[in-house]
């Protein structure tokens, strides 16, 4: 059985860590570096930084935050937001990122995925899909959930894999920040359609929600924000729950409880 990763998702409106509900109403929470260090000490497997306004500004404003984080945090770090070119990827990797995630630019120009994968390898390329439920399907949105793409999320995930994406970060806009659980149906439809790892995001309110995303949705990892930021659970508590449910978890350490 595969090991499942627990990932902290830090949404940033530079210089602050923020969190909203359904990608709206962003509330300032503090210094993102402080949160990253806390989660690292709790045993988090990876950290995803997302610049919430980068697409609007046409640039990524969190590279200095990444440089500070990598001084004290030694887990894989993903940077998302404002990645619009191969040169932007180079800048992010130089700042200390291990991977980049891309949403808006890929929707507007899918060939950028092939260019990035060819230059840097699929292992550092994550396709971020922010999906909203329509009547019988899910539509990817971009510009931080503001703009319609007109695409089908499942077909977009499949095309992303064909273009060289190494992972998919799948966020349910409907569930994001609600603490009502992940969109299991959406996750399962994507995991059944691609062979690359899928990171489930959006909606965790209990440890059982993660168990459902993994056992029913077949997610390879979970990215969580609200429950960590507001100290509802620690990473160690989440990992212990999953282990007790028979799920193999990366880097489990009872001493962190």
Whole domain around residue 139: which residue ranges?
5-256
Sign for the CA dihedral angle at 39, 41, 44, 47 comes to: positive
pTM confidence score:
0.95
By CB atoms closer than 10 A (0-12, 13-18, 19+), residue 255 is exposed
The CATH number of whichever domain residue 120 belongs to comes to 3.20.20.70
pLDDT in tens, the chain (257 residues): 568 999 999 999 888 998 877 666 577 999 999 999 999 999 999 999 999 877 665 566 788 899 999 999 999 999 998 899 999 999 999 999 999 999 999 999 999 999 999 999 999 999 999 999 999 999 999 987 778 999 999 999 999 999 999 999 999 999 998 999 999 999 999 999 999 999 999 999 999 999 999 999 999 999 999 999 999 999 999 999 999 999 988 776 666 65
- State the total domains in the chain: 1
What CA–CA distance (Å, rounded) separates 174 from 145?
10
- Find out whether 75 and 124 touch, Cβ atoms under 8 Å: no
């Amino acid at each position: 059985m595969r090991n499942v990763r627990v990932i902290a998702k830090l949404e940033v409106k530079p210089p602050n860590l923020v969190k909203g509900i359904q990608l709206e109403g962003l509330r300032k929470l503090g210094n993102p570096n402080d949160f990253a260090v806390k989660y690292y000490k709790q045993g988090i497997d990876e950290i995803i930084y997302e610049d919430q306004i980068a697409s609007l500004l046409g640039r990524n404003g969190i590279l200095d935050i990444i440089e500070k984080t990598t001084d004290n945090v030694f887990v894989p770090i993903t940077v998302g937001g404002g990645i619009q070119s191969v040169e932007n990827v180079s800048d992010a990797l130089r700042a200390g990122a291990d991977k980049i995630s891309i949403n808006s630019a890929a929707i507007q120009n899918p060939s950028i995925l092939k260019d990035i994968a060819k230059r840097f390898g699929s292992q550092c390329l994550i396709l971020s899909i922010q999906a909203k439920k329509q009547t019988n399907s899910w539509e990817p949105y971009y510009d931080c959930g503001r703009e319609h793409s007109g695409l089908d999320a499942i077909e977009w995930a499949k095309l992303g894999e064909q273009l060289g994406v190494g992972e998919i970060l799948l966020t349910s806009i409907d569930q994001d920040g609600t603490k009502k659980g992940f969109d299991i149906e959406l996750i399962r439809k994507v995991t059944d359609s691609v062979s690359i790892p899928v990171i489930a995001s959006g909606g965790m309110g209990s440890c059982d929600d993660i168990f459902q995303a993994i056992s029913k949705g077949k997610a390879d990892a979970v990215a969580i924000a609200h429950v960590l930021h507001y100290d509802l659970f620690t990473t160690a508590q989440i990992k212990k729950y999953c282990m007790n449910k028979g799920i193999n978890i990366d880097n489990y350490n009872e001493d962190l409880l």
